[in-house]
Amino acid sequence: MNPKHPYQQQPEKAFWKKTAGSQYPLDITQWYQKKFPIAQHPIATAGSCFAQHIGKQLKDQGFNFVDVEPAPGFLDNASRLDYGYGMYSARYGNVYSSRQLVQLAQRALGQFVPEQAYWLKDGGYVDPFRPTIEPEPYASSIELDTHREHHLQCVRKLFEEARVFVFTLGLTETWVSTQDGAAFPMAPGVAGGLFDPQKYRLLNLTCADVIEDMENFFKIVRRINKKMRFILTVSPVPLMATA
Please give the average per-residue pLDDT across 220-234, as a whole number.
Answer: 97
Predicted confidence at residue 1, as pLDDT, reads: 58
DSSP 138: B
In a domain, 243, yes or no: no
pLDDT bracket for residue 11 (50, 70, 90): confident
Examine residue 47 and state whether it is found in any structural domain, yes or no: yes
Q: Is 28 within the bounds of a domain?
A: no
- If one counts the domains in the chain, the total is 1
pTM above 0.85, yes or no: yes
Please give the average per-residue pLDDT across 158-169, as a whole number.
Answer: 98
Does some domain include residue 96?
yes
For residue 82, the enclosing domain spans: 39-234
Residue 90 lies in a domain: yes
Q: Closest by alpha carbon to 136, among 125, 145, 147, 146?
A: 125
For the residues 62-91, what does the mean pLDDT come to?
94
Higher-confidence residue: 203 or 32? 203
For residue 167, tell me if it sits in a domain: yes
Would residue 240 count as lying in a domain? Answer: no
Residue 4 has pLDDT above 80, yes or no: no
* Cα torsion 191, 146, 202, 52: sign: negative
> Within a domain: residue 184?
yes
Whole-angstrom CA distances from 41 to 56, 60, 77 are 16, 16, 26
**CA separation for the pair 31, 39 (Å, rounded):** 20
Taking the alpha carbons at both ends of the chain, their separation in whole angstroms is 58
- The chain-wide mean pLDDT, for the chain, equals 93
